[in-house]
Structure 1
Amino acid sequence: MNITVHQQGNSKVAIIESSDILIEDVQSALDLMATVRYNEDCDKILVSKSNVTEAFFDLKTRIAGDILQKFTNYQLKLAIVGDYEGYDSKSLKDFIYESNHGKQVFFLKDQQAALDALHGV
């Protein structure tokens, strides 16, 4: 795993690059949050969709809700970058839409849009 910090003014975003799945369950999400917060002093994280278990995007598993609750509890912002067009689930599409209009979690297509969103909150 490689972490690069993108800074804009006082806002710092940890950009995570890895070929592995880094967010697989609540514990792996907590481990990533701790690593970023304590090693990089960042409270905003940008990861690729390929670094997140596919089960996260099946809302029936409740994995997304459990993980995102931890991000909220520990006051970290998250952007997951990738293509979400292939999902047919209306509830997932609604979830992504609502998240993108909030200030905590973003599901965006490219890294620049994710950086803009994270630096903007």
Structure 2
Amino acid sequence: MTATLREIHDVPVLMCDREGEPIADERDAVDLIGNAAYQGARWVVVPAARFDAAFFQLRTRIAGDIVQKFANYRVGLAVVGDIEAHTSASAALRDFVRECNRGTQTWFVPSLQALADRLAGDGGR
């Protein structure tokens, strides 16, 4: 998986490429977390399109497992991109996204600019 380290408002962020293997399970999350730790990143940015479709179906528990892995290792996860098709089809997913966005650990944002704005205001804890 190709990813590059970047600083956004003095916060080290591991940016995953849009192209590549889908992120489908906890093992993939642990690989991202390990890469982030190795490079000194506090956040990992994953384009929404990189997630396997099952991630957006909460009954599979994949989203919860992946988010929990990031929380356990205290690495932020930013899912960047348009997920409207998924949230409009699932009230549970809409609630999950809303709850994640209230916190400081996992954010679903529409663009890199929206992420930069959040990191500027939140300090990327």
TM-score norm. by structure 1 comes to: 0.89
Unmatched segments (≥5 aa) in structure 1:
none
Q: Partner of 2:69 in structure 1?
A: 70
Q: Partner of 2:40 in structure 1?
A: 41
Q: Which deviations, in whole Å up to 9, do the C-alpha atoms of 1:37-73 show, x marking residues without a partner?
A: 11x2112111101111110110000011111111000
**Are 1:17 and 1:47, in contact at CA under 8 Å, matched by a contact in 2?**
yes
**Are 1:23 and 1:29, in contact at CA under 8 Å, matched by a contact in 2?**
yes
Q: Partner of 1:16 in structure 2?
A: 16
User: Structure 1 residue 117: deviation in Å?
Assistant: 2.3
Q: Does 1:112 align with 2:113?
A: yes
Structure 1 consecutive aligned stretches of length 4 or more whose deviation exceeds 3 Å: none
Q: Partner of 1:50 in structure 2?
A: 49
**Are 1:45 and 1:79, in contact at CA under 8 Å, matched by a contact in 2?**
yes
**Are 1:48 and 1:80, in contact at CA under 8 Å, matched by a contact in 2?**
yes
Percent of matched pairs sharing the same residue = 38
Residue-pair matches, total: 120
CA RMSD of aligned residues (A): 1.6
Cα distance change of structure 1 residues 114 and 10 upon mapping to structure 2, 3 Å threshold = closer
Q: Which deviations, in whole Å up to 9, do the C-alpha atoms of 1:2-25 show, x marking residues without a partner?
A: 323222454211111141234210
Q: Does 1:28 align with 2:25?
A: no
Higher helix share: 2
Q: Secondary structure at the match of 1:45?
A: strand
Q: Partner of 1:96 in structure 2?
A: 97
Unmatched segments (≥5 aa) in structure 2:
none
CA distance in 2, matches of 1:21, 1:81: 16
